[in-house]
Amino acid sequence: MQRLDLRQLLSQKLSPQQIQFIKLLQIPTVELEARIKEEMEINPALEEGREEPAEDFNDAQEEEYGEDEYGKEDEVDINDYLNDDEISGYKMQGDRGGDEEEREMPIAMTSSLTDSLMDQLGFLSLDDRQYAIGMQLIGSIDHDGYIRRDLYAIVNDLAFSQNIETTEEEVEQVLHMIQTFDPAGIAARDLPECLLLQLGRREQDQTTLLAERIIHEAFDEFSKKHYQKIQSRFNISEDELKKAVDLIIKLNPKPGGAGAGMTRVQYIIPDFILTNDNGQLQLSLNSRNAPDLRISRSYSEMFDAYDKSDKKDKKLKETVTFVKQKLDAAKWFIDAIRQRQNTLLRTMEAIIKYQHDFFLEGDESELRPMILKDIAEEIGMDISTVSRVANSKAVQTEFGIYPLKYFFSEGIATDSGEDASSREVKHILKEIIEAENKRKPLSDEKIEKMLNDKGYNIARRTVAKYREQLNIPVARLRKEL
């Protein structure tokens, strides 16, 4: 049953100008220049140069030409742009990336791995049939250099796609030829085969032969670092085992990694420059974040001329409306860029105030616990705004370039009653592990006790979490001979 009724609802709306500001705020510096050029291409009323004073459009013009594509009639629901999902965790710990928006990154063009292998295939004396099989095999190589498809599946592909009837034995013969190509270890079907292919190109001395035996006969023990079992199994000395293990771990487990063709490269361009002038911290925006933009004088003059002419002409009135829309869009874009600069500076100044001791010395132990809410309250803005700034911006200091999210971390209680930054705790945890006896690595429980002795009230599960965030393996896998 359908019915009509009246309901009053309160909803928060974002104007197109606010949406434009949000989008400009969250993009990194490397993309800002491209975004400005894009806007200049679609809006001839916007041009480079210092802005000149421009007359505002009066209310009469607003009424006559109506609301345009940037007007209030096009307001959008705020929920479409301020979802909680966009905030990378309430605490913005910097320990883990959030669900950041997928962005196009610069692509570094190099000679691809496939091209290199195809060139090497051309140097072999193959007939048309073998060459087709070789092309199929090269096309089946993953980005890290492995062929993980079963040979019978490749045989089926050749039969269905190229009408070539072959056998697994014939395909394997061509595969062995490709496995002689550079880089060493390419086209292996698993990690042991990849390592054996690389060892096969080395001088076959006693250490190399032992390394091959270990991979052939005791790879499971090797991967789990059960060195005593290997030493007992092969009846070898600890020194012999150490040489063989050192040789194996120097091999490349991903031979295709260096020739991946088109790779995404994230260029880090700092948004802020921070200098220390005799203890006085001075902050400035990267010039690429503060471009000189202005409204085109010719477009302003064009509007004035059309506005004073006969407005009864329908085509002329449409022209005036179009020019006004472009002038409005240019003005709003310039305001959004200016608002972006102001928000960036206010946010960074608040971070510097909070982490002042760190920026003076660059000592991680001086980092204070800091969450998004701390900065949002300091500058009087929403947490989502701070999140957008912190997720994609970086600052250049005398100690290096840091992403802003690096300075956000949770607090760990200490015996003194104060909170220590998780960054500080991680730094100490890393120092403890680096100084440990690698023959008897420290367990998480022992590290927990050592941190507790230093005054940090931390649980074993937190030690394990921080260790994983630092990409440090468990004690068993840190063991060395």
Give the tens place of pLDDT for each residue, 37-83. 888 888 888 887 766 554 444 444 444 444 444 444 444 444 443 44
- Predicted confidence at residue 80, as pLDDT, reads 45
DSSP conformation class of 317:
H
Buried b (16+ CB within 10 A) or exposed e, 121-149: beeeeeeeebebbbbbbbebbeeebbbee
Phi-psi region of 86 (alpha: psi -120 to 50; beta: other; left: phi over 0): alpha
Residue 310 half-sphere exposure, CB side, CA atoms within 13 Å? 4
Q: Please tell me what DSSP assigns to residue 471.
A: T
Q: Which residues of the chain have pLDDT under 70?
A: 1-2, 9-18, 20, 50-111, 258-267, 289-290, 306-313, 410-421, 481
Domains and CATH numbers, the chain: 12-78+93-98+268-409 (no CATH), 110-259 (no CATH), 411-481 (1.10.10.60)
pLDDT digits (tens, 9 = 90+) for 321-365: 787 888 888 888 888 888 888 888 999 999 999 889 889 888 877
pLDDT, residue 86, reads 41
The pLDDT, as a whole number, for residue 66 is 45
Give the per-residue pLDDT at 96: 42
> What is the rounded CA–CA span in Å between residue 221 and residue 376?
52
Q: Please report the pLDDT score of residue 451 as a whole number.
A: 86
Contact residues for 351 (Cβ-Cβ < 8 A; gap 6+) = 370, 375, 404, 407
